[in-house]
Amino acid sequence: MALQGKALVERLQRDGVDVEFLPTNPAIPRFISPIIGVRTVIQSFLFLWKLCRELLRPRVVHVLAASHWYFVLRVVPTVVLSKCLGRRLILNYRGGEAPSFFAGYRWLVVPVLRWVDEIAVPSAYLHRVFADYGFAAAIIPNFVDLQRFRFRQRDRLAPRLLVNRSLEPLYNVRMAIDAYAILRKTHPEASLDVVGSGSEETALRRWVSEQGLKDVHFHGAVPNEEMPRYLDEAEVLLNPSNADNMPISLLEAFAAGVPVVTTNVGGIPDLVGLVEAALLVDAGDAAAMSAQVDDLLRQPEKAFRLTQTAKALSEQTSWQRVGRLWLALYGGQISGRSAESAKAIT
């Protein structure tokens, strides 16, 4: 979400819009960072202080929203303060766990949503979630800077796999490793690159070592600028998440020509299902994920059709298409160098 927020700001600025970016995770002293409760309190205080100061100027406030504590500690105060100051407020909801969060916290979510001027979501999946609670939402997809990625058609795939999600329970990277372990039985030359960090990294490394799995490479968190290189070197992308919306990682893989095997959760079927831009498996089904990868390795023509369809889909997420939708939602109030500023908060 933060990467998409920064990319949005950069694109709007290139188009001559006076826009500012306010991060929701302000920097704090390094010695405080490991102290979870203290870190949350201090970052929340710093965010509120900067929010009160920065909201004095913009006419439009665009807040990127997600579920759980982020909604309570970041979205709610932004909505309340923006409306008290008479700002036009656009809530851009992106959380794949919206159904469970809305169901459990309806008493909080519904009143907050009534305060916003516009709701935007990146997928038909979230559009349905908001409709279930009586709210209309505009669908504005995530966008990809296609110039960053070199589309490479892989004529015959090698078993070089990549998973590039955070190593947190939500993204279930263990499933991708399990699928890789199964694949190694028939493709002993296979390798797996794990790009990302998180609370499960130590446990995943330990499990790989205990299982004696070879050629699993943990790269940790890498700068987003390096992702095109990892995608160019990969042959198949695995997305094992338990909940998701419209993951940028899939769109970037499509732009790079990397065939994708992904779980069929959240908004992913809406994104890829009808046009068959990726192969879908049930969440947690490592055997099915391994079987789909094996099919791609054995059927080059299937991989070709998949990546060509995915390439066409990625081209629909260019800034030329998506940017027009954002400017229309802003209501023309920030189009041009002389317009008043917008505030993007993520």
Given a cut of 70, is residue 300 above it in pLDDT? Answer: yes
Q: Which residues contact 103 (CB under 8 A, 6 or more apart)?
A: none
Whole-number pLDDT of residue 272: 85
> Residue 131 CA to chain centroid, in angstroms?
22
Given a cut of 60, is residue 298 above it in pLDDT? Answer: yes
Q: What is the mean pLDDT of the chain?
A: 90
pLDDT digits (tens, 9 = 90+) for 318-330: 898 999 999 888 8
Distances (CA, A) of 99 to 66, 78, 129, 308, 326: 12, 22, 6, 33, 25
Greatest distance between any 2 Cα atoms in the chain: 63
**pLDDT band per the 50, 70, 90 thresholds, residue 112:** very high
> Residue 232 CA to chain centroid, in angstroms?
20
**pLDDT band per the 50, 70, 90 thresholds, residue 257:** very high
CATH architecture designation of domain 2-143+318-345: 3-Layer(aba) Sandwich (3.40)
Among 56-65, 189-198, 233-242, the range scoring the smallest mean pLDDT is 56-65
Q: Which two tokens stand for residue 184?
A: 């190694």
Given a cut of 70, is residue 345 above it in pLDDT? Answer: no
Q: Which residues contact 335 (CB under 8 A, 6 or more apart)?
A: 17, 327
* More confident site: 250 or 341: 250
Given a cut of 50, is residue 339 above it in pLDDT? Answer: no
* More confident site: 139 or 331: 139
Q: Which two tokens stand for residue 101?
A: 């969060």
pLDDT digits (tens, 9 = 90+) for 267-295: 899 888 767 899 999 999 999 999 999 99
Whole-number pLDDT of residue 200: 96
Within the chain, all domains assigned CATH 3.40.50.2000 are found at 146-315
Whole-number pLDDT of residue 343: 62
What would the CATH number be for the domain defined by 146-315? 3.40.50.2000
Using CA atoms, how far apart are residues 317 and 315, in angstroms rounded to an integer?
5
Using CA atoms, how far apart are residues 280 and 264, in angstroms rounded to an integer?
5
Whole-number pLDDT of residue 299: 94
